[in-house]
Amino acid sequence: MILVGFMGAGKSTVGRLLARRLGRCFVETDAMITTREGRSIPEIFEVRGEPYFRKLEAEALDALTDKRDHVVATGGGFPCEPGVMDRLLELGTVVWLAADFEAAYARANRIGGRPMLAGRSVEDAAALYRVRQDVYRRAHLALDTTRMTVDAVVARIVRHLRDRERREGPAAASSDASRAPLDQPAGVGEREDPKGG
Ligand code: S3P
């Protein structure tokens, strides 16, 4: 299963916990790239530029074929290159963690190390966020996580995978090999209980 969403949406945090709950391996496309290159993401952008980074992402996509049983957290721009979202939708269940722009932007800046935000105005970052929504919304499941706890997000995804297993049989769900019926046909409609504290 594959997590997509804007920088700061919580893909790594959710992915790590989800993998633990499901007893699956967790992998991040950014980590696949930094391990291979021996450089941090900001260094890759600085030294080689964004097009080179996108080329490395395309190579990471090819490597995901062997990781269908993993929980995969993708970088925010990963599904946005032409044809990539189609491939992800075939590889497994794709879940969009859709936080409000303000929440995601604040979180990404707080953590830092985001070359796509460095030197960009808030308006430009918001424009990037808007453009990317059209790609992310193609995910099998869309969760507006802005007011959800990490636990609630993980529980919701586990429920989605279990429902799918019930509908399509354990083989389909354990390999995530085929496409799940849409929970959310378009956009983000789903909200779990607001964060209790
Ligand atoms: C990027 C997002 C980053 C990382 C790189 C580019 C993007 O991942 O892949 O800095 O284009 O949005 P996160 O979404 O984990 O921040």
Q: What is the pLDDT of residues 93-141, one digit of tens each?
A: 999 999 999 999 999 999 999 999 998 999 999 999 999 999 999 999 9
Ligand 1 site, CB within 6 A: 7, 11, 30, 41, 75-77, 108, 114-116
The pLDDT score that the predictor gives to residue 195 is 34
Instruction: Enter the pTM of the model.
Output: 0.88
The answer to whether 79 and 35 have CB atoms below 8 angstroms apart is no
189 pLDDT exceeds 60? no
Model pLDDT for residues 147-159, shown as the tens digit of each residue? 999 999 999 999 9
Q: How far apart are CA 101 and CA 95, in angstroms?
A: 18
Residue 34 is predicted with a pLDDT of: 98
More confident residue, 35 or 196: 35
CA distance 78 to 62: 12
- Which residues, other chains included, contact 179 with Cβ-Cβ below 8 Å and sequence gap of 6+? 89, 90, 140
pLDDT greater than 50 at residue 68: yes
Residues 99 and 145 sit within 8 Å (Cβ to Cβ): yes
Secondary structure (3-state) at 13: helix
How deeply is 83 buried, as exposed, middle or buried, from its count of CB atoms within 10 A (0-12, 13-18, 19+)? exposed
Kindly give the number of the ligand 1 atom that is closest to the alpha carbon of 80: 11
**Residue 194 pLDDT:** 35
Mean pLDDT of the chain: 88
For the segment 40-57, the average pLDDT, to the nearest whole number, is 97
Tell me the CA–centroid distance for residue 42 and ligand 1, in Å: 10
Query: Which atom of ligand 1 is nearest to 113's Cα?
Result: 10
